[in-house]
Chains A and B, each alone.
Chain A
Amino acid sequence: MSDLSIIAHDYALNAEFARKFNEAILVLKRRYLLGRVGTGGTEATVEKARAELRSLLESMILALEDEGKPWSADQAQVPADVVDRLRKRLKGEMDENIAELRQTVDKLAGGTALGESAFNALDSVCEAADATASAAFRRLRRI
């Protein structure tokens, strides 16, 4: 009813997305950039992270390409605020970034290792998600 309820709602959504996305990236960066799995992790953990990230990325690409195309329920995985923030950040480089994300999806689907360029594109999504969650939290706490 108050602004805080809707901001808390918004924060919960954004924080959940940021958490999930970052968790998958951490597992995959460690596996492909450092060449190991974390303590307690296994190759199954890596496979799970690949599947999770692929699903989130497919939704993200759909959302970024939204203009003029019918909205699909798959896009609902990605909070609107994150998409807006990413659009603003990537302004002039949107096409290249979408192409990179699409290639990453293909690699994830094909079981291929991810390289630096893929992680650069993934980091930009991760940063947008993190900044959106932090901004929502600040609005929530009035700080």
Chain B
Amino acid sequence: MKIAVCVKQVPDMNKARFDMKKGSIIREGNNAVVNPDDLAALELALRLREDRPDAKITVLSMGPSQAELALRECLTLGADEAMLLCDRAFAGADSYATAHVLAAAIRPLEPELVLLGRKSADGCTAQVAAALAEMLGLPVVTGVDRMPQLSEDGVTVSRAVNSCRETLFAALPCVLSVDRSALQPRRMNVRAIMAAADKPLAVLGCETLGLAVGECGAAASPTEVAASFVPEKGKGARFLDGPLQKSAAELAAFVKTGKQIGGNGHE
């Protein structure tokens, strides 16, 4: 069985600092992490492999050369091989153009399962899984948040939808996007880091993937960010001073009015 896991290197959003003038995240190399939902997707693959020792896990990432570190982390955690999709032509890709490059890399692998995080912690579009499935011509289930059950012909998955829980069956091959609440990812240790140093990691560019420059990156992205801004922290915040009882009563009265917090007035 072959499993492809797509990951993205993102800034650690717990530590991210923002450039208030440009309205963007300051990307500092030292604080880059594997996107948390993607780590859950990898964990899911690793646990599936426990019952299917023949399974081979390939982890892929489209990103700059620094993203090699994210792939090395995935290899340390147990992935068998890695592919870094790295080319200047990929810069500025939106979710559609990203999916296009990922699809080109995944297609020849012919995996039974393609896993990826539900959304990235920085872009948060949650669109790559669906776009990728469409391009690969595979069924997709997004937002999987429980350990799925594999059978000979397919996979049974579960996810929360609004206030319900859905159980779905998808035939293999298929694409699953995974929510970080699904699984607690395992942690690295130094022995595993050193042991994974020799695992294969291939760097693939436009040409190797059989893509033309014009079908990648910003040039091939139908969406364009018109503007971005950082919401001012604490703007409009009101501090409730005084004794606890009084503050609680004030807060309750405020919540009941509903409208300021986007509610509908329910008590």
Is chain B a partner of chain A in the same complex?
A: no
Which residues of A line the B interface, CB within 8 A? Answer: none
